[in-house]
Amino acid sequence: MQLPRGAAGADVLARLDRFVIETPSWGYADTGTRFGKFLQDAAATSIDEKLADAAEVHRLTGCCPSVAVHVLWDFPGGGSEAEIRRIAARAASLGVRVGSINPNVFEDQAYKWGSLTNRDPEVRRRALDHIFDSIRIGELCGSNLLTLWFADGTNYPGQADLRQRKRWMSEGLREVHARLPADGTMLIEYKPFEPAFYHSDIADWGMAHALAKEAGPRAKVLVDLGHHLPGCNIEHIVAFLIDEGALGGFHFNDRKYADDDLTTGSIDPYQLFRIFNEIAGAEHERGGPGAGTSADLPVAYMIDQSHNLKPKIEAMIQTVMTVQEIFLKALLVDRDALRRAQDREDLVAAEGVVKDAFWTDVREGIAEHRRSRDLPPDPLAAFRESGYAARAAAQRGPRKKPEGGRYA
């Protein structure tokens, strides 16, 4: 199977061009595991450096115009209006913009027993105030996307009243929804474990969906690919949420065991393809790539990875290229042939149709398309040739000198 030529090919490539991917500020910084961190000389140490790195990824790939920010990590000045405006202007000067706003209600000591589910009303209020402040930051930056992840949960049976905590979570999320600006959307992320090990207050997509429905029409579900128990059929969840009008966005990453935050498609590219197959199938039903933006599902595609060993920018570019390739493969599934095979219960043919698209090598086609858009055909090779990483390492590395055998 080949990339289609003519109008059909142009439609598919136009859909690929509309497929924008948000990169996360934290993916450019030094991160580690709970056992330690190995620092990289070129890793970003400030929001300005993270934005510069994100802009480099966008310059080379042409599809990553926005950067997710984590409020406490990226607005060290406390989020004053002057600081927010400066960061937004800095992003604009680099050719990118601030994307989803991620409040942080999990690091402060106050949240030991939970944030919106804390039994102390003052802590619940404090968490809400921080989320309201994050909405204000979004408004000042020109971002209308709020992404909410809660570490709330318990470690032991009997530790807390699960139903009561559910009600507090629901109450808080309704208040957040009421504060959204007119064009605002809030995405609710779920995760079955970590940091809580017995129960998480929003453990799965069903809970996130129920809470989103209660919160209001502009609350949707965020699917982080690392936030499922082994063996979970993520594409089924995605299909179900699409059909409910409840799929709001993705956090892309890959995993072998838990929430490993490995680069997307590195472990199971076929799983990512099966997920995109559901999206492409739903968009086909809405009119197909030829229908233009009206067929596109309103979904935010975001990366959420921790590059503790791979060089950060290379990891990000590799991820973006993989996501583009696999999304394009899903657009190639012959929907009519698939439907016909399904209608006659021809399982072998149906799987063959899906697999034909998966095995299509789209890399040369994308490279050619990039050339036609004045982008480097191989963004990763172009990055390696650019000398950007060496320059960043020379500027940033000296600030990270080891002290007494340990890095400061």
Residues that bind ligand PSV (CB under 6 A): 26, 102, 149, 189, 191, 224, 251, 259, 304
Which of 148/332 has CB closer to Mn ion? 148
Q: How many separate helices (H) and strands (E) can be counted in the chain? A: 15, 12
The nearest distance, CB 295 to Mn ion, in angstroms, is 27
Which of 70/370 has CB closer to ligand PSV? 70
How far apart, in whole angstroms, are the C-alpha atoms of residue 186 and residue 15?
Answer: 25
Which of 26/28 has CB closer to ligand PSV? 26
Phi, psi of 173 (to 5 degrees): -65, -35
The two tokens of residue 138 are 């979004």
**DSSP 8-state assignment for residue 37:** -
Helix (H) / strand (E) element for 135: namely helix 121-141
* Chosen from Mn ion, ligand PSV, none, partner binding at 102 (C-beta under 5 to 8 Å by type): ligand PSV
Which of 87/146 has CB closer to ligand PSV? 146
The nearest distance, CB 259 to ligand PSV, in angstroms, is 5
User: Residue 74, interface with Mn ion (CB under 5 A)?
Assistant: no
Q: What long-range pairs does 83-87 form, CB within 8 A, spacing at least 24?
A: 84/137, 84/140, 84/141, 85/140, 87/47, 87/51, 87/141
Q: Contacting Mn ion (CB under 5 A), which of 152, 261, 283, 304?
A: 304
The nearest distance, CB 400 to Mn ion, in angstroms, is 26
* Chosen from ligand PSV, Mn ion, none, partner binding at 185 (C-beta under 5 to 8 Å by type): none
Cβ atoms < 10 Å from Cβ of 244:
13
Torsion, Cα of 106, 112, 116, 118 (10° steps): 180
Residue type, 13: L
* Chosen from ligand PSV, Mn ion, none, partner binding at 28 (C-beta under 5 to 8 Å by type): none
The nearest distance, CB 104 to ligand PSV, in angstroms, is 8
Which of 303/354 has CB closer to ligand PSV? 303
The nearest distance, CB 28 to ligand PSV, in angstroms, is 13
Which of 27/365 has CB closer to Mn ion? 27
The nearest distance, CB 277 to Mn ion, in angstroms, is 22
Which of 134/277 has CB closer to ligand PSV? 134
**269 touches 326 (CB < 8 A):** yes
User: Residue 70, interface with Mn ion (CB under 5 A)?
Assistant: no
Residue type, 155: N
Q: Contacting Mn ion (CB under 5 A), which of 11, 224, 283, 325?
A: 224
* Chosen from ligand PSV, Mn ion, none, partner binding at 259 (C-beta under 5 to 8 Å by type): ligand PSV
DSSP per-residue string spanning 38-106: ---TTSB-SHHHHHHHHHHHHHHHS---EEEEEHHHH-TT---HHHHHHHHHHHHHHT-EEEEEE---S
Q: Tell me which residue of 187, 284, 285, 278 sits closest to 235, measured CA to CA.
A: 278
Report the residue closest to ligand PSV, judged by CB: 149
Which residues of the chain form contacts with Mn ion (CB under 5 A)? 224, 251, 304
